[in-house]
Each structure stands twice: as structure tokens, then as C-alpha cells.
Amino acid sequence: MAMYVLGAGSLGCLWAAHLAKSAACHPTLLLRAGSAKLRHLKDGRVRLRVIRAERVLEVEVGAEEVNRSPATSDIHQLLLVTKAPAAREALLQVAPRLAAGAVVIILCNGALALHEEISEMPASQRWHLMCGLTTHGAWSKADFEVVHAGAGDTIFGQYGAVRMSEETYESTLAQLLAAGLGGRHEAHIERSLWLKLAANAAINPLTALLEKNNGCILEEEQISRCKEICKEVAAVAAASWHQQGFASLCPSAAEMEDFALDTARRTSPNRSSMLQDVLAERPTEIDYLNGWLVTKARTFGLEVAENAQLTALIKEKERRFLEPKA
Ligand code: KPL
């Protein structure tokens, strides 16, 4: 079965390389129309290099421009690994190629916010959405060359109103798990997505503001900020779950804090993706993490002062490099 990977950044290359190695499916990387990375393609293929400590994995995978054959509905499985702010536009480009009933696996940071955004796209009514979360840390050394800096885990689950058949779900999951990047099915994926959101809401903006690796979250001052952030995330999660009527599965503030600190511990030498974005002067994912929480909190009449302040500070930092200089 062909698995298309939308997004050729660090996570996209990491997944494409491991999927190719597993031979459980044939991955094809989809590149943005007009991407400068297209120049590396030879006969519709590209060589990926993944560096993990002393070991180097080198494999060839298929690669093509996202809208190469716009008139055909040839894509049945799509792993979405773009940056959250780029996901909607990328999906719009690929939409004509997605077959009815195609499985779209959202494996981006900010998956809760992104799932909400994608569900509002009319075309998404024809797709089956799966969500995943991964705590692997990776960064791009060069085009198609990735350093797999922190081994993490990956969890997948069905999420959304349109459910796929058990058979489709099981076969998609088997291919993803064969990649060997950890992974298991989670019946209550929403619970894990909130835990991951708490980890990203704490680690990403704090490391980006301090310009330090993930391990800095384990310093005393940052632990107490992490606690406050998680308390606010848990309050928004509780309000959201209460509205949906199954509040008993909602993770507590203490569980969120444990998860965030454990993630910081396991990925301590890593640069968070937000720190990488800031250093490369790229737009960050803040609107899909703390920014989304602030908006959500408002709809429930809740105050999330710590998350609001972090959102404002990251936006201020972004403005300094994104706005044209006078
Ligand atoms: O998801 C991450 C990110 O950097 O965006 C973590 C898990 C924090 C790893 O760095």
C-alpha cells in the first residue's frame, strides 16, 4: 500500500525513512508546489539520511510535488506532518488527489486545534481522520538529512465524527507501527492529545523564550511555571470534556505536569520545535498551542493568564523577525 507523507521537514523525513525501511508500505514524500527541495529529486526519488547517535540510516523514497497529478484521486493514505500553520494550505493543495474515504493521519503539534480547523474544511467530510502524537525529537541538518535527537513514543487513535471500518483502521495502524518509531493504538486518543498539548504549551514557548534546550524545564523556576501552565490547560480540558459529556477520562493538572516534565526529561538535549523555528526566524506554532488554549478558554469564560502571557511574548518575538524592517 502507498503511504503519502505530506511535509518534508524533520518529522516527515524521519517517518518516510522509517516507513521505507520497514517495507510495510511504500512512502512518497509530497513537497509543496514550487519548493526549492524539488531540485534534489532524481527520477521521482530522493535519498534520505537519518542520523541517530552513531548510526546512520540511508534510504531512497518516492518524492513529488503535491499537485503533480491533480486530476486523479490516487491517494488513500496520507500522513500529515507539516508545521501546524501550513497544514490547511497543504491539505487544500492535495485535496483533489485524496480519494473518497481516504485516511488522513494528523501527526502535527497542536493536533487538537488542527483537527478542529480541518473538520471545518468541506472536503474533510469525505476523509477519515486519525490523530497521532509523537514525542520523538528531530531536527533538519540539511534538506532530507535529519538528526533523530530524542527517541520518544508515538500513539495513534481514531478521532472525529466520521469513523472508518475496523479493517481500514487496523491495516493503516499496522503500517505505521511497522515503522519502528514506537507506537500503539490508544482508544481514548483525546486524552493523550490533551497531555501532549500540555507538554508543548509548557516546553515549547519557555524553551523558545529562554533559548535553551528542553532540559531547562527541569530547573526549579521553570517547574513552577510548568505547573501553572498545566493547571490552566487542565481547566480548559475539563470544561471542554464536560461539554462533551465524558469528563471522567479527562487528564488532571497533575497528570499533565507529570507528562510535561517526563517529556522534558526524555528529550532534555533537544531543541524544541519552537526554539528551532525562532532561531531560523520562521513562524511558530503558538496559535495552535497556547494561542488556541486562550481562545478556547474564552469560550468557557475561563482565564488562562500564564498561557496568554506566553502567547503574547512569543508573538512579540516573532514580530521582530517576521515584520518587514522599516
Ligand atoms: O513536540 C516537541 C516539540 O519540540 O515540538 C517535543 C516533544 C517537546 C520535543 O522537542
Which percentage of the chain shows pLDDT scores above 70?
98
Q: Are 172 and 157 in contact (CB under 8 A)?
A: no
**Cα three-residue angle 144-90-12, rounded to 5 degrees:** 30
Cβ proximity of 19 and 13 under 8 Å: no
Nearest to 191 by CA among 135, 254, 256, 137: 256
Give residue 299 CA to ligand 1 midpoint distance, Å: 27
8 A C-beta contact, residue 107 and residue 81:
yes
* pLDDT surpassing 70 at residue 261: yes
Rounded to an integer, what distance in angstroms lies between the CA atom of residue 90 and that of residue 67? 10
Task: Quote the distance between the C-alpha of residue 64 and its chain's center.
Answer: 21
| Main-chain dihedrals φ then ψ at residue 118, nearest 5 degrees | -70, -40
- Put simply, whether the predicted model's pTM sits higher than 0.80 gets the answer yes
* Shortest-distance atom of ligand 1 to CA 273: 4
Cβ of 109 less than 6 Å from ligand 1: yes
Residues 249, 237: contact at Cβ < 8 Å? no
Angle of helix 290-299 relative to helix 189-210, nearest 10 degrees? Answer: 120
Q: Which of 11, 14, 273, 275 to mutate to test the pocket of ligand 1 (most atoms within 8 A of CB)?
A: 273
Pairing of strands 154-158, 128-134: antiparallel
CB 183 within 8 A of CB 155: yes
**What average pLDDT score do residues 197-202 get?**
98
Q: Is 207 in the pocket of ligand 1 (CB under 6 A)?
A: no
The 10s digit of each residue's pLDDT in 116-175 is 999 999 989 899 999 999 988 888 999 999 999 877 889 999 887 778 889 999 999 999
pLDDT score, position 326: 63
By CB atoms closer than 10 A (0-12, 13-18, 19+), residue 235 is middle
Does 247 have pLDDT greater than 80?
no
Rounded Cα gap, residues 95 and 73, in angstroms: 9
Cα–ligand 1 centroid distance for 278 (angstroms): 14
Q: How far is CA 163 from CA 125, 127, 294, in A?
A: 11, 9, 29
One-letter identity of residue 199: A
Grouping H, G, I as helix, E, B as strand and the rest as coil, residue 86 is helix
C-alpha cell at 90: 497543504
Report the nearest atom of ligand 1 relative to the CA of 276: 4
pLDDT digits (tens, 9 = 90+) for 62-96: 999 988 776 777 899 999 999 999 999 999 999 99
Q: Are 81 and 27 in contact (CB under 8 A)?
A: no
E strands within the chain?
2-6, 26-31, 45-52, 55-65, 75-80, 98-106, 128-134, 137-142, 145-150, 154-158, 184-185
Are 189 and 233 contacting, i.e. CB atoms less than 8 angstroms apart?
no
By annotation, the residues acting in catalysis are: 196
**pLDDT digits 0-9 by tens, 22-47:** 988 889 999 988 899 999 999 999 99
Q: Is the beta carbon of 284 within 6 A of some atom in ligand 1?
A: no
State whether ipTM is beyond 0.90.
yes
CB within 8 A of 109, min separation 6: which ones?
Answer: 83, 84, 196, 200, 204, 273, 285, 288, 289
Determine contact, residues 230/196, Cβ cutoff 8 Å.
Answer: no
DSSP 42: B
Local confidence band at 199 (pLDDT 50, 70, 90 cut-offs): very high
